[in-house]
Homo-oligomer: A and B are copies of this chain.
Amino acid sequence: MKLLIIGGDAAGMSAASRAKRNMPDMEVTVLEQTADVSYSACGMPYNIADPHRDMNDLVVRKADAFREKQGIELLTGHRAEAIDADGGTVTAVTPQGKTAVFPYDHLILATGASPVFPDVPGRSLPGVMALKQLEDGRRIKEYIKSRQVASVLILGMGYVGLEMCEALRARGIQVAMVKPGPDLLPWMDRSLAQVVSEELAANEVALHTGQTVLEIREQGRRLSAVTAAGILEADMILSAMGIHPNSALATEAGISLGPENSIAVDKQLHTSRPHVFAAGDCADAYHVVTGQKTWIPLALRANRAGWAAADVVCGRGADIEGVAGTAVFKVFNLEVARTGLSMAEAHRAGFDPVSATIRSRSRAHAHPGATDLHVHVIGDRISGKLLGAQMVGREGAAHRINAAAVALHAGMSVERFSGMDLAYAPPFGPTWDPLLTAANQLVKQLRS
């Protein structure tokens, strides 16, 4: 049996490895357009932060290991050009520029996602960068070094942009961020977002909200981003405006799309065409809170969906669990975490959401070193169910959010969640875990 996989990153290589483990005799071929497979993409900001680290540190497993130890036919430098879903073939361009046709019994699309660039003049100037693939990381690091970059303008204020803030400031680089919308982290409760905003200010990051970049110009060795309000200058511009799914190949093959043009898949990762699966950042998923399709491209889901698709191909498939949209990121010394829906998302999904926001402490009463921990929880007035949670603090937010995530998977009511037997010891929190204190408040709100 021939399994063909397009894309050799998290989902693709997870699928390839899993298929080989499940069925060692299966012919597994991966077409990857870059030279890099299996690396920690999310680690790039932290690598860039340290000029002495090699970007190749982030490679988890080299291409040759997949080839030699696992017997995977891993073809790097191969760009897939077209899928013939009726004939069961994929056409690709080889590193030599030739066209080759690859037949398959089963095909897994793991084409990932690409960074969004501003659709303005100057977007292709050399100093305008994005961070998605390992090669992007190398290019940015080299650019900072060779050009002695002293200032960076970041377009967008999402996860990647915020992580890059910390990385660049660690190298003494001036950082400004700009976005068209009015709010930093619009999905976040305003009082929690304010904590993040203060952390950015304390670390001398300038925020320009409500400003659309209309043009990028090169002036000598510097770049200028022109907005209606004026000109923002920097040595380098990082486009961190989000990503979009790489679904063009699928669309051209007549495969149906889901939210935000991601590839629509069912709970066993089947696309709308037989024998064609999709997994990772290119594919959609069911949300455990709404039961509806969503597109939340994150690393764990990519790995898990790659496994799951391989299991289905190998005849041992089970329905994959939905996503809760659990995420965490670090902004300087703050841990910022979320799971489930925001208030706006809950409204849009047809719930009658009610929220409670509290400030608790990261350690017990009188325990040295305690800091503030801000918690925002959301419940549905109609069903009483927990819909989402958000946390911000210097410690104790990152892993705590997982308790709320599991409660969302279990479809728990806020009241039931408030009764959970969570861990307590003075160095790690108050007797009533901050999540429980927030849930207790929300129970009152839901009853009133």
- Judging by beta carbons under 8 Å apart, are A300 and B428 in contact? no
A11-38 vs B, Cβ < 8 Å mask (1 yes, 0 no): 0000000000000000000000000000
Which chain B residues lie closer than 8 Å to A326 at the CB level?
421-423
Q: Is A426 an interface residue (CB 8 A)?
A: yes
* Closest Cβ–Cβ distance, residue A388 to chain B (whole Å): 12
Interface centre among A50, A367, A420 (most CB of B within 10 A): A420
Q: Is A314 an interface residue (CB 8 A)?
A: no
- Judging by beta carbons under 8 Å apart, are A300 and B424 in contact? yes
Q: Looking at the complex, which one of B40, B367, B400 makes contact with A364 (CB distance below 8 Å)?
A: B40
Interface centre among A337, A367, A424 (most CB of B within 10 A): A424
Q: Looking at the complex, which one of B163, B325, B366, B420 makes contact with A40 (CB distance below 8 Å)?
A: B366
- Count A-side interface residues using an 8 Å CB cutoff: 70
- Judging by beta carbons under 8 Å apart, are B335 and A426 in contact? no
A420-448 vs B, Cβ < 8 Å mask (1 yes, 0 no): 11111111110111011000000000000
Which chain B residues lie closer than 8 Å to A410 at the CB level?
406-407, 409-410, 412
Which chain B residues lie closer than 8 Å to A335 at the CB level?
428
Interface centre among A43, A337, A368, A403 (most CB of B within 10 A): A403
Q: Is A42 an interface residue (CB 8 A)?
A: yes
- Judging by beta carbons under 8 Å apart, are B406 and A420 in contact? yes
Given A43-B364, A43-B365, A365-B40, do A323 and B421 touch, yes or no (CB 8 Å)?
Answer: yes
Given A60-B365, A366-B58, A406-B403, do A42 and B298 touch, yes or no (CB 8 Å)?
Answer: no
- Judging by beta carbons under 8 Å apart, are A330 and B58 in contact? no
Interface centre among A301, A427, A433, A436 (most CB of B within 10 A): A427
- Judging by beta carbons under 8 Å apart, are A368 and B46 in contact? yes
- Judging by beta carbons under 8 Å apart, are B368 and A421 in contact? no
Q: Is A402 an interface residue (CB 8 A)?
A: yes
- Judging by beta carbons under 8 Å apart, are A428 and B398 in contact? yes
Q: Is A57 an interface residue (CB 8 A)?
A: yes
Q: Looking at the complex, which one of B57, B324, B436 makes contact with A421 (CB distance below 8 Å)?
A: B324
Q: Tell me the complex Cα distance, A5–B304, Å.
A: 53
- Judging by beta carbons under 8 Å apart, are A398 and B423 in contact? yes
Which chain B residues lie closer than 8 Å to A85 at the CB level?
none
Residue of B at shortest CB range from A396?
B399
Q: Is A222 an interface residue (CB 8 A)?
A: no
- Judging by beta carbons under 8 Å apart, are A431 and B401 in contact? no
Residue of B at shortest CB range from A412?
B410
Q: Looking at the complex, which one of B301, B328, B364 makes contact with A42 (CB distance below 8 Å)?
A: B364
Q: Tell me the complex Cα distance, A399–B401, Å.
A: 9
Complex A-B: 20 CB contacts under 8 Å: A40-B366, A40-B367, A42-B425, A43-B426, A46-B426, A58-B366, A163-B425, A298-B424, A299-B431, A300-B422, A321-B419, A326-B421, A327-B425, A328-B425, A329-B425, A398-B399, A406-B420, A409-B416, A409-B419, A409-B420
Which 5 A-B pairs rank lowest in CB-CB distance, beginning with the nearest? Answer: A321-B419, A410-B410, A402-B403, A399-B399, A328-B423
What 16 additional pairs, Cβ within 8 angstroms, besides A321-B419, A399-B403?
A40-B426, A40-B431, A43-B426, A47-B366, A57-B366, A163-B425, A321-B420, A324-B420, A329-B425, A330-B428, A398-B399, A402-B420, A405-B421, A409-B419, A409-B420, A410-B410
